[in-house]
Amino acid sequence: MHLVVQALILGILTGGVYALMASGQTLIFGIMKVINLAQGAYVILGAYLTMSLFQWTHIDPFLLILLTTPLLFVIGAATQWFLLRPLRPDDAVELSLLVTFAVALGLEGLMSVLYKTTLRSIQPGYENHSWTIAGYQINEVRFYAFLLSIAMLIILYLLLQKTKFGRAVRATVQNPMSAQLLGVNSKLVSAFGFGLGVATSAAAGAVFGLITPFNPGSHYDLISRLLTVVILGGLGSIGGSVIAAMVMGIGAALVSALSEPVWADFTFFAVLILVLLFRPQGMFGTKARGAL
Amino acid sequence: MKLGNTKVSKRGLITAGVVSVALITSSLVTTVGTSANAAGTLKIGVSLSLTGDFSDSGLAAQRGYTLWQQEVNKKGGILGRTVSFKIVNDASSPDQVVTNYTNLITKDKVDIVMGPFSSLLTVPASRVAKRYGYSFIEPAGGGPKVFAEKNPNLFFVQPAATTKGGDVFADYILSLPAASRPKTAGYVKLDDPFAAPLADNIKARFEAAGIKTVYDHTYPSETADMTPIISALAATKPDVVVGGTQSADAFAQVKAMIQLKFSPSWLFLSNGASSPLEFPQQIGLKNTEGVFTSSDWYPKSTAPGSAAFIKAYIAKFGGVATSIDGTSAEAYSAGTLLEQVAAKTKKIDNKTIIATLHKGSWPTLVGNLSWNAYGEPQGAYLLTQWQGGQLTTVWPKASAQKTPLAPKPAWVG
């Protein structure tokens, strides 16, 4: 019983980390109907930037997120402006898969040249600390990451629902032509929206770098998990991706701890397939119009 | 013709095709060292993983080979012939490695070939060497599949087949008086042809001696989160934990143990803990205390020639002794074997190398080596343990620099 509860705690905390990483991905899809295959690579880039800044300034990695977030926002917006905006609307959805995958490979190559392929991690000294509560171990960093996820998701929600920018984004999603006629600069909105989605990987990268050793090739495992979380939750639904991340985290942890670790990821895919059989749009997604 | 909505000329396509092929081929071939075909040069061909998954180790092997080349040429080369290397990149691909060795032998007509990095690449490469009657001294392929090839031309430059890497830990544990021995053991293994068999080997010996198995599970290589697995391991409270690991997962296992406040009395890791620089960097220097692993070469090694090797390495590549990857020492040792064959027989053709190395015992940086008919070394690894922030030999007693420390001190967090 102790093991079950401990595994549940571990799963919830891990789920929080994945929710943080997936929020940007699902936001980009929701705004632009673009599947950003480079999201994992941006998270790794965020991890490297945090690591370098931490080594240079010794400022706490969680605080460094305030620096890396605007930086990644600019990088994301620039990616959209120069690489995705020129795509013709008819081909955009399919071609964006190729373009963002190319961006992922390019980022991986750049980071390999700058940082080599040795495994790195961010080590402020407290990364392995755990609190012991009622006999259960709760890792500090994962707990803070969990709180950070919730905070970021609330901020994203408020941004989209309560601000003029958010309204402009939602209008552009619903009908770009009408939005433009009403004075919304769709091109800028798309760029900023993409930038926002990429900016979340700054926080995600800092957390990821604290928890797991990483190298430039780590983005492959990440992107495959992020895509499955986002599809299970429903493309475009931030709330959905949170719940899906929790399902993934808890499911994998319980299977690893109570059964065989080799089945952990499989269980998640089994859940995904079952859900998609009955709800092709994922748990909370809207039915996609047009082919993907 | 039209590609989508753009007009592309035939000439443009052909040019693009030629340029792409040229770029791809040139990126896969890197020539290192002189490749003069003059008589009086001993040309050695090697395929290494200069890019791709194995690049860290491939580059370490390259440093070992080129350092040996520099040192041997200082002494006049081999039998008066200057040693030159042609090193080509296999990008960690088993298909490319076959192409590379075939070209080295048939097109470049190298005199000798030596091995690539990893069992995965050594197996197909060794078949090429066998087909053309070339000797195959190789520093980094020691998994069971390598020796299953039954290749009489192959010589693995490490003390034993890698599955035996845990035997020396089992020797130590089973040498303890019954009262001080562990009663229970947990095995947490990476799904890998090097790591899992090594741990299973230890398990067989422990179970035969009455040490009860309380946890025995394998995890796949893409496991991101080791904490649930270690949490299940900790719940069974094993006295000794045997980790069948490579590097990344070894670090992850230890970090998870620290986070879950689980510190076994004995902890053995098949790989990862042998990285003199990365292990303390990843888990914290104080946390290394008492962790066991097995090694063939490590910075404090007293093998003859080790001090000179370290000095020459630092002079050529910089850094400190603790930043030297063992793979460099293994590749360097492959070269010194050639020197020794030449000194003994005054010849350096492939037939002589094969016949000579199959007899007797040969001192190298990684120990005194001798092989069975199919290249499996008949020695034993050294049990090494982290003590006072350094890796040191603790078993067998004859080679021990310090006594083994047990139980392992608690984690420092």
Model pLDDT for residues B269-312, shown as the tens digit of each residue: 998 898 888 888 889 999 999 999 998 988 888 899 999 999 99
Is B278 in Cβ contact with A118 (below 8 Å)?
yes
Is B259 in Cβ contact with A139 (below 8 Å)?
yes
Is A258 in Cβ contact with B232 (below 8 Å)?
yes
H helix runs in A138-237, sequence order: 140-162, 164-174, 176-181, 186-211, 219-233
Cβ–Cβ contact B3 with A under 8 A? no
Which has the closest alpha carbon to B249: B277, B285, B282, B216? B282
- B318 found inside a domain: yes
pLDDT digits (tens, 9 = 90+) for A239-260: 888 889 998 899 999 999 999 9
Return the percent helix, strand and coil in chain A, to nearest 5: 75, 5, 20
Which pLDDT does position B231 carry in this prediction?
94
Q: Give the pLDDT band (50/70/90) at residue A287.
A: low
Which pLDDT does position A228 carry in this prediction?
85
Indicate the residue type of B144. P
List Cα–Cα distances, B383 to A17, A106, A283, B211, in angstroms. 39, 43, 53, 20
Peptide bond before B377: cis, by omega within 30 degrees of 0? no
Q: Give the pLDDT band (50/70/90) at residue B36.
A: very low
The yes-or-no verdict on residue B17 having pLDDT over 70 is: no
- B14 found inside a domain: no
Which pLDDT does position B256 carry in this prediction?
94
Q: Give the pLDDT band (50/70/90) at residue B82.
A: very high
List Cα–Cα distances, B205 to A34, B167, B169, B178, B209, in angstroms. 56, 8, 10, 15, 6
Residue B194's CATH number: 3.40.50.2300
Tell me the two tokens of residue A91: 């081909």
The yes-or-no verdict on residue B2 having pLDDT over 70 is: no
The yes-or-no verdict on residue B120 having pLDDT over 70 is: yes
List Cα–Cα distances, A3 to A8, A132, A252, B232, in angstroms. 8, 14, 14, 7
Indicate the residue type of B359. K
Phi and psi based region of residue B14 (left: phi greater than 0; alpha: psi -120 to 50; beta: remaining): alpha
Is A213 in Cβ contact with B282 (below 8 Å)?
yes
Which has the closest alpha carbon to B245: B295, B293, B277? B293
Residue numbers of B between 209 and 268 with CB closer than 8 Å to A? 217-220, 222-225, 227-229, 231-232, 235, 247-248, 251-252, 255, 258-261
Which pLDDT does position A102 carry in this prediction?
96
Percent of chain B having pLDDT more than 70?
Answer: 90
Q: Of A262-266, A282-286, B322-326, B333-337, which gets the smallest average pLDDT?
A: A282-286
Which pLDDT does position B32 carry in this prediction?
43
Q: Give the pLDDT band (50/70/90) at residue A292.
A: very low
* Mean pLDDT, rounded, for B69-85: 95
Which pLDDT does position B381 carry in this prediction?
92
Same domain, B172 and B285: yes
Q: Taking the CA atoms of B41, B67, A109 and B271 in sequence, report the sign of the dihedral they define.
A: positive
Which pLDDT does position A172 carry in this prediction?
76
* Mean pLDDT, rounded, for B232-259: 93
By the 8 A CB rule, do A40 and A105 touch? no
What b-and-e string marks burial along B119-141, b requiring 16 or more CB atoms within 10 Å of the CB? bbbbbbbbebbbeeebbbbbbbb
Write a three-state SS string for B66-132.
HHHHHHHHHCCCECCEEEEEEEEECCCCHHHHHHHHHHHHHCCCCCEEECCECHHHHHHHHHHHHHC
Q: Give the pLDDT band (50/70/90) at residue A267.
A: confident
Residue entry with tokens 């500090």: A140
Is B282 in Cβ contact with A119 (below 8 Å)?
yes
- Report d(CA A69, CA A82) in Å as an integer: 20
- B67 found inside a domain: yes
Same domain, B96 and B188: no
Q: Taking the CA atoms of B5, B6, B7 and B13 in sequence, report the sign of the dihedral they define.
A: negative
pLDDT digits (tens, 9 = 90+) for A62-111: 999 999 999 999 999 999 999 988 887 778 778 889 999 999 999 999 99
Cβ–Cβ contact B53 with A under 8 A? yes
Residues pairing with B188 in the sheet:
B217, B243
| HSE-up (13 A, CA, CB side) for residue B318 | 0
Same domain, B155 and B259: no
| Closest chain B C-alpha to A92 CA, distance in angstroms | 14
Which pLDDT does position A77 carry in this prediction?
94
Same domain, B365 and B279: no
Same domain, B395 and B247: yes
Is A261 in Cβ contact with B229 (below 8 Å)?
yes
Tell me the two tokens of residue B352: 């002589």
pLDDT digits (tens, 9 = 90+) for B168-203: 999 999 999 999 999 999 999 998 878 888 999 999
The yes-or-no verdict on residue A48 having pLDDT over 50 is: yes
By the 8 A CB rule, do B358 and B377 touch? no
Which pLDDT does position B24 carry in this prediction?
58
Chain A contact residues (CB < 8 Å to B): 2-3, 6-7, 10-11, 14, 116-119, 121, 123, 127-130, 132, 137, 139, 212-213, 217, 221, 225, 252-254, 256-258, 260-262, 264-265
- Report d(CA B326, CA B365) in Å as an integer: 10
Chain A residues within 8 A of B253 when measuring between CB atoms: none
For helices B55-74 and B306-317, the axis angle rounded to 10 degrees is 110
Nearest-by-CA chain A residue for B259: A128
Same domain, B47 and B144: yes
Which pLDDT does position B343 carry in this prediction?
95
> Which of A111-120, B321-330, B334-343 shows the highest mean pLDDT?
B334-343
Same domain, B272 and B179: yes
- B29 found inside a domain: no
- Which residues, including other chains, have CB under 8 Å from residue B300's CB and lie 6 or more apart? B390, B391, B392, B393, B401
- Report d(CA B252, CA B270) in Å as an integer: 14
- B253 found inside a domain: yes
Which pLDDT does position A288 carry in this prediction?
46
Same domain, B281 and B308: no
Is A260 in Cβ contact with B218 (below 8 Å)?
yes
Which has the closest alpha carbon to B283: B253, B322, B324? B253
Percent of chain A having pLDDT more than 70?
Answer: 97
End-to-end CA distance of chain A: 44
- B409 found inside a domain: no
Same domain, B323 and B269: no
Q: Which phi and psi angles does B390 have, rounded to 5°?
A: -135, 155
| Closest chain A C-alpha to B259 CA, distance in angstroms | 5
End-to-end CA distance of chain B: 66
pTM above 0.95, yes or no: no
- Report d(CA B95, CA B103) in Å as an integer: 13
By the 8 A CB rule, do A227 and A248 touch? no
Which pLDDT does position B16 carry in this prediction?
61
Q: What residues make up the domain containing B327? A: 41-159+303-369
- Report d(CA B48, CA B93) in Å as an integer: 10
Long-range contacts of A266-269 (CB under 8 A, 24+ apart): A268/A228, A269/A228
By the 8 A CB rule, do B253 and B230 touch? yes
Which has the closest alpha carbon to B118: B148, B140, B85, B93? B140
Which pLDDT does position A151 carry in this prediction?
87
- Report d(CA B135, CA A219) in Å as an integer: 40
Beta pairing class for B82-89 and B41-48:
parallel
- B16 found inside a domain: no
Q: How far from the centroid of its chain's Cα atoms is residue B71's Cα? A: 22
- Which residues, including other chains, have CB under 8 Å from residue B18's CB and lie 6 or more apart? none
* Mean pLDDT, rounded, for B244-271: 92
Which pLDDT does position B10 carry in this prediction?
67
Q: Give the pLDDT band (50/70/90) at residue B248.
A: confident
Q: Taking the CA atoms of B57, B86, B193 and B371 in sequence, report the sign of the dihedral they define.
A: negative
Which pLDDT does position B163 carry in this prediction?
87
Phi and psi based region of residue A167 (left: phi greater than 0; alpha: psi -120 to 50; beta: remaining): alpha
Domain ranges within chain A, ordered by starting residue: 2-219+246-263
Same domain, B179 and B277: yes
Is B247 in Cβ contact with A123 (below 8 Å)?
no
Mean pLDDT of chain A: 87
Q: Is A182 exposed, middle or buried (0-12, 13-18, 19+ CB in 10 A)?
A: exposed
Which pLDDT does position B73 carry in this prediction?
96
- Report d(CA B104, CA B115) in Å as an integer: 12
- Total number of residues shown for chain A: 292
Report DSSP letters for B234-301, one per residue. HHT--SEEEEE--HHHHHHHHHHHHHTT---SEEEESSSTT-TTHHHHHH-GGGGTT-EEEES--TT-
**Greater confidence, A119 or B65?**
B65
- B9 found inside a domain: no
Which has the closest alpha carbon to B239: B260, B261, B204, B267? B267
Q: How many domains does chain B have?
A: 2
**Greater confidence, B389 or B222?**
B389
Tell me the two tokens of residue B259: 């986070």
Tell me the two tokens of residue A7: 């595994």
Q: Of B29-43, B162-176, B338-352, which gets the smallest average pLDDT?
A: B29-43
The yes-or-no verdict on residue B8 having pLDDT over 70 is: no
Q: Give the pLDDT band (50/70/90) at residue B22.
A: low
Same domain, B289 and B319: no
Same domain, B118 and B219: no
Which has the closest alpha carbon to A202: A34, A30, A76? A76
Which has the closest alpha carbon to A231: A247, A251, A214? A247
* Mean pLDDT, rounded, for A160-178: 81
Which has the closest alpha carbon to A100: A120, A89, A84? A84
The yes-or-no verdict on residue A41 having pLDDT over 60 is: yes
Tell me the two tokens of residue B116: 């690539």
What 3-state DSSP class applies to B391? strand
Which has the closest alpha carbon to A27: A247, A204, A209? A204
